[in-house]
Amino acid sequence: MGRKNRNRQRAQQNRDGRAEGKRSRDDAGWGAGYSEIIKENKLFEHYYTELKIVPEGEFEEFMEAMREPLPATIRITGYKRYPDELAWHTNLSRKILRKSPLLEKFHQFLVSETESGNISRQEAVSMIPPLLLKIEPQHKILDMCAAPGSKTAQLIEMLHSDMDVPFPEGFVIANDVDNKRCYLLVHQAKRLNSPCIMVVNHDASSIPRLHFDQDGKKDVLFYDRILCDVPCSGDGTMRKNIDVWKKWTTSNSLQLHGLQIRIAVRGVEQLAVGGRMVYSTCSLNPIEDEAVIAALLEKSEGALELADASPDLPGLKYMPGITSWKLMTKEGQWYSDWSKVPTSRHTQIRPTMFPPTDPEKLANMKLERCMRILPHHQNTGGFFVAVLVKKAPMPWNRPDGSSADAPVEAVEGETPAEGNPSVPDTPDLLEVKKDNVCGPPPPKKMKLFGFKEDPFVFLTEDDPIFPPIQAFYDLSPDFPKLNVLTRTHEGKKRQLYMVSKELRNVLLNNSERMKVINTGVKVWSRNTDGEQFGCAFRLAQEGIYTLCPYIRARIINICVEDVKVLLTQENPFLRKLGDDAHNQAKKLGMGSIVLRYLPDPKDLDAPQCPIDLCGWRGKTSIRAFVPRNERLHYLRMVGVEVFHDKQGKRNDGSTEIQERSTEDAEGLSQEHHSSVPFYDAAAAETGPLEVLVG
Partner residues linked to 277 by β-bridges: 226, 388
Residue 76 CA neighbour count, 13 Å, CB half:
18
Angle at 121 between CA 119 and CA 127, to 5 degrees: 95
CB–CB of 564/640 below 8 Å? Answer: yes
According to the annotation, is 145 in a ligand binding site? Answer: yes
Residue 690: phi and psi, rounded to 5, are: -65, -35
Residue 373: phi and psi, rounded to 5, are: -95, 125
According to the annotation, is 147 in a ligand binding site? Answer: yes
Our answer to whether residue 548 is catalytic in this structure is no
According to the annotation, is 148 in a ligand binding site? Answer: yes
Beta-carbon count within 10 A of 82 CB: 16
Alpha carbon of residue 112 to chain centroid: 17
According to the annotation, is 150 in a ligand binding site? Answer: yes
Partner residues linked to 18 by β-bridges: none
In angstroms, the CA 414 to CA 662 distance is 69
Residue 649, SS3? Answer: strand
Residue 333, SS3? Answer: coil
According to the annotation, is 151 in a ligand binding site? Answer: yes
Residue from 232, 282, 370, 535 carrying the catalytic annotation: 282
Sign of the dihedral through C-alpha 390, 395, 397, 399: positive
Contacting residues for 115 by C-beta, under 8 A, at least 6 apart: 191, 629
According to the annotation, is 27 in a ligand binding site? Answer: no
In angstroms, the CA 114 to CA 101 distance is 20
DSSP string, 549-612: GGB-SSEEEE-HHHHHHHHHSSS-BGGGS-HHHHHHHHTS-SEEEEEEE---TT-TTS-SS-EE
CB–CB of 525/540 below 8 Å? Answer: yes
What size, in residues, is the chain?
A: 694
According to the annotation, is 548 in a ligand binding site? Answer: no
Sheet with 119-120, side-by-side order of all strands: 87-90, 72-76, 119-120
CB–CB of 625/674 below 8 Å? Answer: yes
Helices of type H across 68-122: 94-99, 104-115
CB–CB of 276/134 below 8 Å? Answer: yes
Residue 390, SS3? Answer: strand
According to the annotation, is 176 in a ligand binding site? Answer: yes
Radius of gyration of the chain (CA): 28
**Which residues sit in the known binding site for S-adenosyl-L-methionine?**
145-151, 176, 203, 229
**Which residues sit in the known binding site?**
145-151, 176, 203, 229
Q: Catalogue the active-site residues.
A: 282
